[in-house]
Structure formats: structure tokens, C-alpha cells
């Protein structure tokens, strides 16, 4: 905000124009028309009220139906697929090769097993591709979602996770209908980078037991489980699973640098499985998988536990919405002329999460890594992500026995490498150097993610970011004394005005974060007879700001100072009127549309008639 004295008169009208007279004369009341005395009747007003209520209900229903219709798939969604279907089919096949080990690993890491990861990748992958709002996104189980699911498994069991997924799907659909998708743009980058880095650390810690070949370690927090696994390993070390996990991770990281187009995650898992089989290594395996998807069922649903599962369902829905919409933005940036529909994306993720639990799948969301592979492989339509899910379904049907022989340590290596690639060190360094506030928010979000949980971390990060933003905005607001525009008055009259009148101009928002500082500054005014408060440059006025303004006026008047207001904006005038602030000033004619009028009135107050 500028701090230079303002010499331009305020011209903002004091109040908004009032309503005009009713169009046309009002007819005189006619004779009452009604049923004979003693006859019971609902009367015309009752009928009108009933008709109005019915009309309002019908209108709301029609709007809701139109909104839902707008979220459903349409024929135009598949127009890009007809241009070059071969390219989309090849891209989908490539993504399936990359997604297979990740789906298995995230399924195991979630606590529900590899089959749950595959079911999620297939069912959610198909439904999100058909119903979602992006042509390029690939959905399935993700590391971020796994972080949230692990404590739910420990507390409520597998059935609780499936119920949470069902509830989260319904919540996402409600958010889509409500049009919440557009608000993701307000998420601070420092919060996103902080929890992404925190998620990477948490996923890495989750892999410690499998990478060390240790099982049966319990703990409330993931770092406690990792510490327990290290202690157990130190007591009875087995180098085989550790070397296998490190070898797979090293192969993925080194191979991605030299040949980024090769799916080294699958190569590493295949090689590790072959070595384990040929050498007869005694390592933990995935185990038997069903040869196909289970029949849809709601047997897991326990109506008595739904109330307790609503909070974790809200957390899962929030994470699914956040990660999916961020992923869609990344996909748009990587492509040309692509723009996702955020509300349709929420709807698609909602449908996917509503149905996946029926087949034993865990809650899903869009996956940034798989989406990036999809775009880089030349995908241009939903056909690619649909193909990826169909290929995974074929693998489930045809090769479940082979998949069951994969060592868990190999999957731990895949996720360890994935966590390393999740962290963008350059972005973290840039945010840390940007402002002290950004650095604080990022570090705090990261720490809470690792120590507590992701949902708490996002809430804390956003809360601190909002407080810091309000603090910065409040600092831009100021109140300063400005010269009077005395016009063509004579020297003696000008001296009289300047001696007994002072004008203060508000610049910026007059809201709760800055209002009390204004009160302190205005309370120090003394040795004058009239104070003019110029309001035309107030950008925002809330209830707290209005009440503090009223307190300042009361204090000034208590010292015998007359207060005049000028240039109040119509919207701000409504706030003041609603709270009864400065009512007596309006009644006494001490509120003016501009500063010259206020100065003229002040002159009249100082010069007796």
C-alpha cells in the first residue's frame, strides 16, 4: 500500500441507492372472499405455501439432476481415442508394466495384501478412466494413500479399510456435485512439497521390516515399527532380503538415469524372483493370489462401526481429492492443449472408490508416477489408462501363480527407489530459500507427516500458512494522517481548520487481523475538536473491523471529539448498518459521500453561526 499523503477527494458514495417505488399503484383491498362462517378451509395462503414449497423442491431436484448429468461420461470424451488408438494402446501397455509391481507393493504395504492392490488397480483404473475428468490420468493404489490406510488397518481391520473406501467414495461424489474441485488451486505449494517429502520418508520407513526380512513388529507409528524391525534384525541378521531390496532399488535408480524408457522396476522384480527360485532362497513371498477378481460383496460392511469410520473416511476422501487434482494439473502441464475438469475428476474418483471395495480393493487415487509414464509414452486419450487396467486384469487371470512367488524384499526395493524419486530436492531448496514463512510451513508439514500422520500434517500446514498470510496482509493495512483539502479558504480559516481538524485515511483491509492495531493508533488522537475518518480506500471490512471502528468512535467522542465518516463503500455500509455501528452519526448527518463534504461540515461545526 502507498503511504504518500492523499490529496484526491473521496468520491465514493456513502450508501447504495435504496429501492425505488413500487411499479404501479397499489389497489385498495377488496372484500374478503372465503368460505361461509364455520366452514373449515386451508385458505388460499396455505395452498400458495404448499405450491411454493413443491415448486422449490422441484427446482432443487432439477438443479441437482442437471448437475449430476453434467458429471457423467459423454461421447466426446472418447473423440481423441479415435485419432490414433494404436498409440494409446501401446502407452497403456507400457503403464501396465510399470504399474504391476507398484500395485503389488502398495497392496502389501497397506496391510490387505497384494491381491487388494491388484483389485484396486483394475477396478479403480477402469472406473476412473471412464468417469474421471482427465484424459491422461492413471489411477490405482498409491504410496500416499497407503500411509493413511496402515493405521486404519491396525485399528479397524481389513473390513474397516473397505468401509472407509466406500464412505470416501460417497464423500467424493458429494464434493463433486458441490463443485469443490476448483478450490484445490488455493493449496499452498509449501504444504504440498512438505507432505510429499514426508510421505516419501514414511513409505521408506514402512519398507524397513520387509527389506530386513523381519515380521511381526507392532507399533502405533511407522517410525516405531521401523525402529523395532532394526532392533530385531540386529539380534538375528539375515543379509539376503536386505541385499535383494538394495539391489532392486539400485537397479531402478541407476537404470532410470541411463535408459528412462525401460521399466526397471519390473526388470528388478523379475530378476529377484528368478534368483530366489534358482538359488532356493528362504525369503518371504507374496503368497497365493486368487485367479481373478472376487465377486462383488458387501459382507465387510458393519453398520455399527460407520460412525467411528467417518473421520478416517473424511481423511481418505480429502487425500484422494488432493492427490488426484494435483496429478491432473501435472498431466495438463506435461501435455499440449489438455485441461482437466476438476469436478468430474472428483466424481470419477468417487465412483472408483465406491466400487473398488466391493471387489476387495483399497481406496485409490490418481498416481503421479504412472500418469507421467502414460503421458511420456504418447497417450492422448482415456483409452491408454483403460488399457492399463485391462492388461492388469489379464495378468491377474493368467499369471497369479507366478506373481505369488515374488519376494516381498523385491517389492520393498521397488518402493524404496520410488520414495527417492518422489522427492524433488531442487523444489525443496527453492521453497526453503523463498521466504521464512514458506520454509516454516514446509518443514512443519514434513515433520508432522513423519511423526504423526498425513491428515494432521496437512491441517497444521494449511493452518499455519493461513495465519502467516493473514499476518502479511494485516501488515499492508495502515491508517495515517493526511493533509486537509481546504480549497479556497482564506489563510485565517485554513489555519483554524488545520488547528482543530485532523483527517485519517484507512488503506487496505480493516479486518480482524489488523483492526486492533487501528484502534490503538486512533485512541492516541488528542488536542483536536473534529476527526474525519476517510474510508474510501478500505478494501475489506468484516464484523471485527466494524466493531473496532465503533469502539474507536466511542473513545474519541468520550474525549469530546466530533467524528465524521467519509467515502464508505456500499458493501461496507451494509456491514456497519447490520452491526449498528455509527448509527448515531448517520442520524446526526455526520456521514458523507466524500471528504470535501466532510470538511465543509467540520468548518460549520467550528465556526458558530
Q: Which of 151, 82, 189 is nearest to 435 (CA)?
A: 189
Residue 1 CA to residue 506 CA, distance in Å, equals 10
Domain count for the chain: 2
pLDDT at 439 over 60: yes
Distance in angstroms (rounded) separating the CA atoms of residues 368 and 364: 12
Whether residues 446 and 381 fall in one domain: yes
Could you give the C-alpha distances from 405 to 112, 293, 362, 583, in angstroms and in order?
17, 19, 22, 80
The CA–CA distances, whole Å, from 452 to 36, 73, 457 equal 74, 39, 7
Residue 261: pLDDT over 80: no
Is 225 within a domain?
Answer: yes
Residue 106 lies in a domain: yes
Three-state SS for 367? coil
pLDDT at position 472: 77
Q: What is the pLDDT of residue 498?
A: 65
pLDDT reported for residue 155: 86
Q: Could you tell me the pLDDT band of residue 13, with boundaries at 50, 70 and 90? A: very low
Question: CA-to-CA distance for 216 and 233, rounded, in angstroms?
Answer: 12
Do residues 202 and 147 lie in contact, with contact meaning Cβ atoms separated by under 8 Å?
yes
- Spatial neighbors of 494 by CB under 8 A, at least 6 apart, are 486
pLDDT band at residue 24 using 50, 70 and 90 as cut-offs: very low
Give pLDDT, residue 353: 96
**pLDDT of res. 20:** 41
Closest CA to 349 of 182, 177, 184, 172: 172
472 assigned to some structural domain: no
pLDDT-wise least confident of 33-47, 409-423, 428-442, 458-472: 33-47
Give 256 or 365, the one with higher predicted confidence. 365
Report the CATH number that the domain containing residue 483 is assigned in CATH.
Answer: 3.30.750.24
Report yes or no on 52 lying in a domain.
Answer: no
DSSP string of 78-110, one letter each residue:
GTGGGT-HHHHHHHHHHHHHHHHHHHHHHHHHH
- Supply the range of the domain harboring residue 219: 84-291+310-467
335 or 463: whose pLDDT is higher? 463
pLDDT confidence of residue 151: 84
Among the ranges 320-334, 378-392, 519-533, which has the highest mean pLDDT value? 378-392
Residue 565 lies in a domain: yes
Which tens digit of pLDDT belongs to each residue from 419-431?
A: 887 777 888 888 8
136 and 261 within one domain: yes
Whether 391 and 425 map to the same domain: the answer is yes
Q: What is the pLDDT of residue 244?
A: 93
Domain identity same for 463 and 593: no
Grid cell listed for 167: 464412505
| 324 lies in the same domain as 426 | yes
Q: What is the mean pLDDT of the chain?
A: 81
Residue 121: the pLDDT is 94
Task: State the Cα–Cα distance between residues 587 and 348, nearest whole angstrom.
Answer: 57
| CA–CA dist 566, 592 (Å, integer) | 5
Domain final residue pick, 406, 432, 467: 467
Please indicate whether residue 472 or residue 441 has the higher confidence score (pLDDT): 441
Q: Of 359-368, 420-429, 514-523, 554-563, which gets the smallest average pLDDT?
A: 514-523
Domain end (from 439, 467, 495): 467
Q: Residue 543's pLDDT is what? A: 87
Query: Are 414 and 491 found together in one domain?
Result: no
DSSP per-residue letters across 148-172: HHHHHHHHHHHHHHHHHHHHHHHHH
Which tops the pLDDT comparison, 62 or 339?
339
Q: Tell whether 62 is covered by a domain.
A: no
* Residue 482, helix vs strand vs coil: strand
Give the Cα separation of 265 and 268 in Å (integer): 5
The whole-angstrom separation of Cα 123 and Cα 359 is 8
CB 357 within 8 A of CB 162: yes
What pLDDT, in 10s, does the model give residues 73-86?
Answer: 988 889 888 888 88
Whether residues 375 and 419 fall in one domain: yes
Rounded to an integer, what distance in angstroms lies between the CA atom of residue 573 and that of residue 583?
A: 11
Confidence of residue 17 (pLDDT cuts 50, 70, 90): very low
Q: What is the pLDDT of residue 36?
A: 42
pTM of the model: 0.66
Q: Are residues 449 and 487 in the same domain?
A: no
pLDDT at 444: 93
Distance CA 488, CA 497 (A): 12
250 confidence band (pLDDT: 50, 70, 90)? very high
Give the per-residue pLDDT at 314: 92
Residue 160: name the closest of 307, 326, 45, 16 by CA: 307
Q: What is the mean pLDDT of residues 423-443?
A: 86
The confidence score (pLDDT) of residue 56 equals 62
User: What pLDDT, on the 0 to 100 scale, is given for residue 185?
Assistant: 67
Q: Are residues 489 and 453 in the same domain?
A: no
Interatomic CA distance for residues 406 and 277, integer angstroms:
9
Give the Cβ contact number of residue 42 at 10 Å. Answer: 9
Rounded to an integer, the average pLDDT of 514-518 is 64
Does residue 4 carry a pLDDT above 50?
no
Residues 541 and 450 placed together within one structural domain of the fold: no
Q: Which of residues 467, 498, 532 is at a domain's end? A: 467
| 38 vs 547 pLDDT, higher one | 547
DSSP state of 15: S
Judgement on whether residues 451 and 483 belong to the same structural domain of the protein: no
Question: By three-state DSSP, how is residue 517 classified?
Answer: helix
- pLDDT digit string, tens, across residues 475-506: 766 566 666 654 544 454 456 556 688 888 88
Does residue 23 surpass a pLDDT of 90?
A: no
Whether 69 is in a domain gets the answer no
Strands 139-140, 365-366: pairing kind: antiparallel
Res. 259: pLDDT tops 50: yes
pLDDT digits (tens, 9 = 90+) for 100-113: 888 888 888 888 88
Instruction: Decide the pairing of beta strands 501-510 and 530-534.
Output: parallel
Is 505 within the bounds of a domain? yes
Residues 113 and 257 in one domain: yes
Amino acid at each position: 500500500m502507498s503511504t504518500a499523503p492523499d490529496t484526491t477527494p473521496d468520491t465514493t458514495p456513502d450508501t447504495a441507492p435504496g429501492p425505488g417505488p413500487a411499479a404501479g399503484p397499489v389497489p385498495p383491498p377488496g372484500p374478503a372472499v372465503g368460505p361461509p362462517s364455520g366452514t373449515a378451509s386451508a385458505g388460499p395462503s396455505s395452498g400458495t405455501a404448499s405450491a411454493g414449497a413443491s415448486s422449490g423442491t422441484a427446482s432443487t431436484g432439477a438443479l441437482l439432476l442437471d448437475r449430476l448429468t453434467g458429471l457423467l461420461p459423454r461421447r466426446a470424451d472418447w473423440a481423441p481415442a479415435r485419432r490414433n488408438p494404436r498409440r494409446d494402446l501401446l502407452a497403456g501397455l507400457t503403464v501396465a508394466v510399470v504399474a504391476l509391481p507398484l500395485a503389488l507393493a502398495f497392496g502389501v504395504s497397506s496391510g490387505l495384501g497384494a491381491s487388494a492392490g491388484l483389485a484396486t488397480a483394475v477396478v479403480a483404473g477402469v472406473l476412473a478412466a471412464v468417469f474421471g475428468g482427465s484424459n491422461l490420468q492413471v489411477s490405482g493404489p498409491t504410496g500416499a494413500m497407503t500411509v493413511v490406510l496402515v493405521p486404519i488397518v491396525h485399528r479397524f481391520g481389513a473390513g474397516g479399510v473397505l468401509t472407509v473406501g466406500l464412505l470416501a467414495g460417497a464423500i467424493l461424489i458429494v464434493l463433486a456435485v458441490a463443485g469443490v474441485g476448483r478450490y484445490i488451486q488455493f493449496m499452498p505449494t509449501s504444504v504440498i512439497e512438505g507432505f510429499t517429502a514426508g510421505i516419501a520418508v514414511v513409505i521408506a520407513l514402512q519398507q524397513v521390516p520387509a527389506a530386513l526380512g523381519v515380521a511381526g513388529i507392532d507399533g502405533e507409528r511407522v517410525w516405531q515399527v521401523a525402529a523395532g524391525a532394526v532392533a530385531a534384525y540386529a539380534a538375528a541378521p539375515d543379509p539376503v532380503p536386505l541385499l535383494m531390496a538394495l539391489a532392486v532399488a539400485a537397479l531402478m535408480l541407476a537404470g532410470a538415469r541411463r535408459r528412462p524408457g525401460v521399466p526397471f522396476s519390473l526388470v528388478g522384480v523379475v530378476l529377484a524372483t528368478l534368483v530366489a527360485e534358482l538359488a532356493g532362497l528362504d525369503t518371504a513371498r507374496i503368497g497365493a493370489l486368487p485367479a481373478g477378481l472376487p465377486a462383488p460383496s458387501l459382507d465387510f460392511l458393519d453398520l455399527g462401526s460407520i460412525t467411528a469410520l467417518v473421520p478416517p473416511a473424511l481423511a481418505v476422501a480429502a487425500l484422494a481429492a488432493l492427490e488426484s487434482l494435483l496429478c491432473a494439473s501435472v498431466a495438463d502441464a506435461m501435455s499440449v492443449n489438455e485441461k482437466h475438469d476438476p469436478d468430474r475428476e472428483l466424481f470419477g474418483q468417487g465412483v472408483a472408490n465406491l466400487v473398488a471395495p466391493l471387489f476387495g480393493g483399497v481406496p485409490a487415487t490418481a498416481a503421479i508416477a504412472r500418469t507421467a509414464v502414460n503421458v511420456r509414452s504418447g497417450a492422448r486419450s482415456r483409452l491408454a489408462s483403460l488399457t492399463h487396467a485391462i492388461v492388469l486384469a489379464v495378468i491377474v487371470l493368467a499369471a497369479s501363480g507366478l506373481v505369488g512367488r515374488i519376494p516381498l524384499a523385491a517389492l520393498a526395493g521397488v518402493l524404496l527407489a520410488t520414495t527417492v524419486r518422489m522427492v524433488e530436492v531442487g523444489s525443496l531448496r527453492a521453497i526453503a530459500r523463498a521466504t521464512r514463512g514458506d520454509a516454516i510451513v514446509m518443514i512443519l508439514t514434513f515433520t508432522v507427516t513423519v511423526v504423526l500422520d498425513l491428515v494432521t500434517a496437512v491441517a497444521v500446514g494449511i493452518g499455519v500458512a493461513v495465519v502467516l498470510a493473514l499476518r502479511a496482509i494485516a501488515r499492508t493495512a495502515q491508517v495515517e494522517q493526511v493533509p486537509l483539502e481546504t480549497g479556497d479558504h482564506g489563510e485565517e480559516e485554513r489555519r483554524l481548520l488545520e488547528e482543530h481538524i485532523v483527517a485519517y485515511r484507512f488503506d487496505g483491509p480493516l479486518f480482524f487481523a489488523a483492526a486492533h492495531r487501528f484502534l490503538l493508533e486512533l485512541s492516541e488522537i488528542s488536542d483536536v475538536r473534529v476527526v474525519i475518518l476517510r474510508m474510501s480506500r478500505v478494501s475489506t471490512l468484516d464484523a471485527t473491523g466494524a466493531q473496532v471502528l465503533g469502539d474507536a468512535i466511542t473513545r474519541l467522542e468520550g474525549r469530546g471529539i466530533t467524528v465524521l465518516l467519509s467515502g464508505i463503500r456500499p458493501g461496507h455500509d451494509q456491514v456497519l448498518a447490520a452491526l449498528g455501528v455509527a448509527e448515531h452519526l448517520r442520524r446526526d448527518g455526520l456521514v458523507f459521500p466524500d471528504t470535501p463534504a466532510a470538511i465543509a461540515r467540520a468548518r460549520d461545526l467550528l465556526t458558530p453561526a
